[in-house]
Structure 1
Amino acid sequence: MQCSVYNNKKMFGHLVREWEPITSQPNICELTCLAKGTHFFYSFGKVLDGTRCDKESKDMCINGECVPVGCDGELNSDAKEDFCMKCGGKNDTCTRYQTVYIEPPPTQGFIGYRNCTVVPAEATHIQITEHTPNFLAMVEGSQHVLNGDWSLHWSGNIHAGGVVFEYDRKTNGNERLFAKGPTKRPLTLEVILTDSNGPNITISYWLPKKEISSNDVVDIKVTEKPVESKHKKNTIKNNDVIITSDFTNDKPVKPYHTKRFDKTACQVCEKVRGGRVKHFCSSDFVIHVDVLDKQIVNGQIRFDVSILHTYKNVTPLQTREFLWIQSTCNCPMIRPNKEYLIMGVNTYDAASGQSRLVILSTSLVRTWKVKDHEKWVKTKEKQDKLCQRFTHRSTL
């Protein structure tokens, strides 16, 4: 629009009838235009104040510089929307809903569409990942909006439920769906079984707390020939958090890309120093867990844990969670089939687009002792007073 002001004007003695904007340039707040039908471009200086730096951001150009704009509409504001899409919020008006859909490898009849779960209306920050050679599919109403009729979409934007999903499908079969939301209509998630490896799908999203109810757990009947399996469905309700997961013998099936631990590249774990109060105050979560399983996923250690008691958390935690160590070295030392007192931080993982519960090499991890429970309860009760001496750290 701003380039068109210079249409039908002479430039260096030549009439240029139409100019087009060039957006892929180092200085996004510079008005650089291309003469249509030619390779000639020219910079007319700064764009008008108030011009958006890019379509996906509220940041705007002021006096030729890109100035951040917070969700409150103020310049140079660092106010951001939380997962509930509340400006400056602390994720306390909504609750995370997570479903892990896992099946063991089928023995026969594995080709076909299978229903997995329903993403309800009002869901925000929807993240769906699949890491096996099977494919994701999505239905709105009675129509497929993704990978229907045995036709696969390329990576790109998918319009569904009144929002735009970013769909990414890698050549290795990994898939990711993400939408900021909120969805206006419910969506049915399906998996296209095309491989002898069973699906391993993680679905997470946030819902307003008032919307969470037992009605959000939808029992879906399989419309194709059922796949032979012995898995059972667990539905847990804990503090208004609903988790629905498919497990075999209460242990997740290992994904096909699981690798052996490379112990040769790891050093001896350093001793964690500092008092328990300092670690408690600098951590985002302090929990008593039972470690159910341990895997390497994309170069990181992932622990599947059952949370037995929560002493501190800055975001809602579920009865079943994944904890991560961001390397293949098991420091601190944690073993499956044991109970621990674990502290850590909440981080944002750019690769998956999800928030994660991360155990740092400096995090306090202790083998669980029953006698310690009262000690941590008292620490929790007095944390406001005890933590005044320490600066809270919530990022890596």
Structure 2
Amino acid sequence: MGKLRPGEGEWLGSSHTGRPFPLWSFLLLLGSLLSCGLGSSAQGPGEWTLWGSWTRCSSSCGQGVSVRSRHCIRFPGEEPCWGDSHEYRLCQLPDCPPRAVPFRDLQCALYNGRPVLGTQKTYQWVPFHGAPNQCDLNCLAEGHAFYHSFGRVLDGTPCSPGVEGLCVAGRCLSAGCDGLLGSGTREDQCGRCGGANDSCLFVQRVFRDAGAFAGYWNVTLIPEGARHLRVTHRSRNHLALLGSDGRYVLNGNWAVSPSGTYEAAGTRVVYTRAAAGPEETLHATGPTSQDLLLQVLLQEPNPGVEFEFWLPRERYGPFQEQTQALGWSLRQPQPREVEPQPPEPPAPAAIPPRTPAPAPDPCAPCPDTRGRAHRLLQYCSSDFVFRARVLGRRRQAQETRYEVRVQQVYKNRSPLQTREYVWAPGLCPCPPLTPHHEYLLAARRLVSPDGTQDRLLLPHSGYARPWSPAEDSRVRLAARHCPV
């Protein structure tokens, strides 16, 4: 889009009067001397002039396009400038009146009553949206079964009904968050245009408390400023959302709300409950304009409520203090009781030994995975290689979950957060990670088929070495030998 073709540009030389400009002549002479001294022609691309001013919006109402341009200045023998000579941005004007004629209709109507197709016949033309290129002016002859393309539509024409994007130079382009068409710039999870998710933190937890009484149990506080909220569980229980004014947004006062979109704290909360199963979800883009309280209405023992959201860094400390001060989770007593359920067996690590002698370690020794070949194989086939400090370990089901703090990234195919969970198969993972120690880890990304789980997996007998300066040098060397 707007690229300068080879040979285009402005040449530095004499004016049309034949009298050379002193400065330009000096620059030409200097360039010639340098090129002669180096034994070759001028190298590298030319240089761009400054951007010109933005033009007026292409539309008088609604969305349109504004453009600015620049020129390439280069010496003879230099390559064309790198980059685009034109830049387009979206301009937003007040909405068009309800009866305003659409822009594409106006362009087709310009050919009404004019002979086309090499005959003297005339037609009335209306837009046709079934042609392959939606940025061509494809118009259908009213009362006939054919259409004709009159070339490109004017810049700023909507691509087609129901599709975001405007036509520019014959291409359908969408505006990035910076307002530039075709830039591809997007907001990160923190809401920053073109950011790298470094101004917020990812909160991801599972609420597993199970009470013996039916009623509303507090799950978590969702602080002001939270983004990309996602909550899910699979049970006959119900998620409930309470506003800062003490009123329920959904599923309050023992009444189950229908699936739908609800307004809460300045954002839209999408609540769904599967008709064929017990799964229930909450989604909200945010940011929230005030605190919300997430609860669960228990009707049966809680199998786990998974929740996650992104929070600005400056709000994470107060959020932690609030949740600790409020003593999450707190049960709100209710008059209705359910039949007591047997508690879930505690995790093996929490069972005290019944004999004075320590129990033998049930885990077999891990195989030896040392060596350059193993390091190279694991590094090249992994999605992530990073240095991390193990904060904690938890065994659940047939897996082991490590909570780690990422301190240095060597390789990543998608962004890593400051704190991550790394999952290892089995209750005796190989190699084992010890809390409060630092490791170099090679992990793979594992996404469930339904897209509900996105994990970092540490393969069995994978790459997990205690970090040291020597190991740092070895892993950097391995990176150079991976096939492209």
**Which range, TM-score by smaller chain?**
0.5 to 0.7
Partner SS for 2:192: coil
1:316 has 2:422 as partner = no
Deviation at 1:103, TM superposition (A): 2.8
Aligned counterparts, 1:286-305, within 5 A:
286=386, 290=393, 292-294=395-397, 303-305=399-401
Of residues 206, 209, 224 in structure 2, which corresponds to 1:100?
206
Deviation at 1:126, TM superposition (A): 1.3
Deviation at 1:391, TM superposition (A): 6.8
Partner SS for 1:340: coil
| 1:125 to 1:57, Cα distance in 2 relative to 1, 3 A | farther
Q: How many residues align?
A: 322
Q: Is the CA contact (8 Å cut-off) linking 1:113 and 1:191 kept in structure 2?
A: yes
| 1:280 to 1:380, Cα distance in 2 relative to 1, 3 A | farther
Partner SS for 1:212: helix
Between structure 1 and structure 2, the one with the greater Rg is: 2
Aligned counterparts, 1:171-186, within 5 A:
171=275, 172-186=277-291
Q: Is the CA contact (8 Å cut-off) linking 2:430 and 2:461 kept in structure 1?
A: no
| 1:323 to 1:207, Cα distance in 2 relative to 1, 3 A | same
Deviation at 1:165, TM superposition (A): 2.0
Q: Deviations over 1:265-305 (max 9, x none)?
A: xxxxxx9x95415634653255668561245xxxxxxx451
1:153 has 2:257 as partner = yes
| 1:31 to 1:177, Cα distance in 2 relative to 1, 3 A | farther
1:377 has 2:468 as partner = yes
Aligned counterparts, 1:37-116, within 5 A:
49-50=155-156, 59-62=165-168, 65-104=171-210, 106-107=211-212, 109-110=213-214, 112-116=215-219
Q: Is the CA contact (8 Å cut-off) linking 1:290 and 1:338 kept in structure 2?
A: no
Q: 1:353 & 1:134 partners in 2: Cα distance?
A: 19
Of residues 303, 306, 321 in structure 2, which corresponds to 1:202?
306
Amino acid at match of 2:331: V
Percent identity over paired residues? 26
Partner of 2:228 in structure 1? 125
Q: Is the CA contact (8 Å cut-off) linking 2:231 and 2:283 kept in structure 1?
A: yes
| 1:94 to 1:308, Cα distance in 2 relative to 1, 3 A | closer
- TM-score normalised according to structure 2 size: 0.51
| 1:292 to 1:130, Cα distance in 2 relative to 1, 3 A | same
1:224 has 2:338 as partner = no
Q: Which has the higher contact order (CA 8 A, sep 6+)?
A: 1
1:137 has 2:240 as partner = yes
1:191 has 2:296 as partner = yes
Deviation at 1:68, TM superposition (A): 4.0
1:165 has 2:269 as partner = yes
Q: Is the CA contact (8 Å cut-off) linking 2:270 and 2:282 kept in structure 1?
A: yes
Partner of 1:260 in structure 2? none
Q: Deviations over 1:54-107 (max 9, x none)?
A: 999964444675324333333333333222222232222211112211134x55
Deviation at 1:30, TM superposition (A): 9.1
| 1:318 to 1:120, Cα distance in 2 relative to 1, 3 A | same
Partner SS for 2:456: strand
- Identify the structure with the greater strand proportion: 1
Structure 1 residue runs of 5 or longer lacking an equivalent are 11-18, 34-41, 232-246, 253-270, 296-302, 325-333
- TM-score normalised according to structure 1 size: 0.61
Amino acid at match of 2:176: G
Amino acid at match of 2:239: L
| 1:344 to 1:25, Cα distance in 2 relative to 1, 3 A | farther
Q: Deviations over 1:129-173 (max 9, x none)?
A: 111121111011211112223333333322111111222221212
Partner of 1:276 in structure 2? 375
Q: Is the CA contact (8 Å cut-off) linking 2:205 and 2:307 kept in structure 1?
A: yes
Structure 2 residue runs of 5 or longer lacking an equivalent are 1-95, 113-125, 140-145, 350-368, 410-414, 433-440
Deviation at 1:43, TM superposition (A): 9.2
1:336 has 2:445 as partner = no
Q: 1:209 & 1:140 partners in 2: Cα distance?
A: 23
Q: Deviations over 1:14-50 (max 9, x none)?
A: xxxxx9x9999998879999xxxxxxxx999898754
